[in-house]
Structure 1
Amino acid sequence: MPIDVYPVSQELAVYLRKKLLAWEQNNYPAFPWRDEIPPFHALVAEVLLQRTRAEQVVPVYLNFVRVFPNPASLAQTNIPDIEKVIAPLGLRWRARFLHELGKELVADGSVPANLVSLRKLSGVGPYAASAYLSFHVGRRVPIVDSNVVRFYGRFFGFRTGPETRRDRQLLDLADSIMPKRAFKRFNYALIDFTRAICRPKPLHDICPVAKRCAFYRERFRGEFNFT
């Protein structure tokens, strides 16, 4: 479905950046994969985080990198052993992809640092590849998952669907809002905010961007003075 809000005004882009970065200063969660960690651990974390709540991933991630500290240890194990480690997350089918990932990284010798090569690895989807590059390599790459799509759809007032996160216009929109320098901080702010505040049932009362949000303004039309 078409997204007809791009390009956004510079004023609105600056507004979103400032509001989300300010919110993040007081709401930054200290997840273990946000420390300085080996590239293999970082990639595993982003793979486990795909379509899974971060809070659920924490204990599984910590146990995973303890049991499989490097690609060789992952490649040399068997799939049932991987299934046992990731079982608390459900989605045991990911064990096969993780096993293949370990073998591929052993063959390659290192975790690649470009989007095309990352996407060729088993189990590494668009979100995991972009998140790895932004958070662990320091590349300016937009982060777009289902939560981010929901937020942008609500804020700008366009309809979204299962394939919106792959829409070129949506990716251009995300890129135009992301700052040139503080992109890593902004991407963390964006995924944290969309997880904590702009939920399926949004927390309007504590949302710092509610008064500029199309969804909020439409829902509460006439109840507030938005000027």
Structure 2
Amino acid sequence: MTALADTATESPLARTRRARKIVRILGELHPDARIALNFSNPLELLVATVLSAQCTDKKVNEVTPAVFARYRTAADYAAADRAELEALLRPTGFFRAKANSIIGIGAALVERFSGTVPGRLDDLVTLPGVGRKTANVVLGHVFDIPGITVDTHVGRLSRRFGLTGSTDPVKVESDLAELLERRDYTTASDRMIFHGRRICHSRRPACGACGLARLCPSFGLGPTTPEEARRLVRADTEAVG
């Protein structure tokens, strides 16, 4: 398997073409790539995404049914009994900080947005505990507004693919936005997250089992023999992200 040569001399056009090909192949490798959080409306996704920080999606999905049944509206969260909410959120970790954010989100939605989750990034990032990553998750998956979600996987893969040299999520988002078609922002993020969880792990990527080897300048960071690499591939997508 031949890896891509160093990208230092790669032209902007060549990088753009390679980035879009990577996204296309990721779709073939992970046709089931999608958001793993369970939700039925914008408020539920917003809350679930806040809870997913430093927690697996699987654990969040175990916790949210009771949360969503108890708190159905922004006003419910705003008026939540802190001890009760913290008890429900405890399994997700950092439950006190998350309770603070969710109560604050409920109050802000009631006070400034008539209890409704706004569909603009500039509005979403004014909510307590909501950054661009969370905002783009909500915009892309409930409002059909394309957004690049730079979580730990997207950031890591973007650097390994040679699509950015930055560790700053905002700069990574900007670099990817210049390379990808806007309509692909959300799906590209979902696909990169799946690939990062299943194959391109942070410590030992399964390079020899990766269908992107010829497009990746980082090929060889992990085992390159197919037999050894296949043992590293994870079917479980429920990793912390």
Regarding TM over 0.5, the answer is: yes
Return the offset for 1:89: 1.0
Paired residues of 1:23 and 1:208 also in contact (CA < 8 A): yes
Paired residues of 1:133 and 1:141 also in contact (CA < 8 A): yes
The answer to whether the aligner puts 1:179 opposite 2:185 as a matched pair is no
| 2:41 counterpart (21, 38, 62) | 38
Return the offset for 1:38: 1.6
Alignment match, 1:194: 196
- CA RMSD, aligned part only? 2.7
Alignment match, 1:102: 106
Post-superposition Cα deviations, 1:172-223, rounded to whole Å, max 9, x if no partner, equal 32113433334433332122222222221222233221232111157779x9
Judging changes above 3 Å, is the alpha-carbon distance between structure 1 residues 95 and 123 closer, same or farther for their aligned structure 2 residues?
same
Return the offset for 1:41: 0.8
Alignment match, 2:229: none
Moved more, 203-212 or 177-186: 177-186
Paired residues of 2:20 and 2:179 also in contact (CA < 8 A): yes
- How many aligned positions are there? 213
Judging changes above 3 Å, is the alpha-carbon distance between structure 1 residues 166 and 180 closer, same or farther for their aligned structure 2 residues?
closer
Please give the alpha-carbon distance, in whole angstroms, between the structure 2 residues aligned to 1:115 and 1:158: 23
Paired residues of 1:7 and 1:173 also in contact (CA < 8 A): no
Equivalent residue letter for 1:173: D
Q: Sequence identity of aligned pairs in percent?
A: 22
Equivalent residue letter for 1:192: F
Return the offset for 1:159: 5.4
Alignment match, 1:20: 26
Equivalent residue letter for 1:122: P
Judging changes above 3 Å, is the alpha-carbon distance between structure 1 residues 81 and 219 closer, same or farther for their aligned structure 2 residues?
closer
The runs of at least 4 consecutive aligned structure 1 residues that moved more than 6 Å come to 218-221
Return the offset for 1:117: 0.8
TM-score (norm 2): 0.77
Post-superposition Cα deviations, 1:55-92, rounded to whole Å, max 9, x if no partner, equal 22111122221221221221122211111111001102
The answer to whether the aligner puts 1:117 opposite 2:117 as a matched pair is no
The answer to whether the aligner puts 1:211 opposite 2:214 as a matched pair is yes
Judging changes above 3 Å, is the alpha-carbon distance between structure 1 residues 30 and 54 closer, same or farther for their aligned structure 2 residues?
closer
Paired residues of 1:157 and 1:214 also in contact (CA < 8 A): no
Return the offset for 1:95: 0.7
State how 1:57-136 maps to structure 2 within 5 Å. 57-92=60-95, 93-107=97-111, 108-109=113-114, 110-136=116-142
Judging changes above 3 Å, is the alpha-carbon distance between structure 1 residues 143 and 8 closer, same or farther for their aligned structure 2 residues?
farther
Return the offset for 1:28: 5.0
Paired residues of 2:121 and 2:136 also in contact (CA < 8 A): yes
Judging changes above 3 Å, is the alpha-carbon distance between structure 1 residues 205 and 57 closer, same or farther for their aligned structure 2 residues?
farther
Equivalent residue letter for 2:173: L
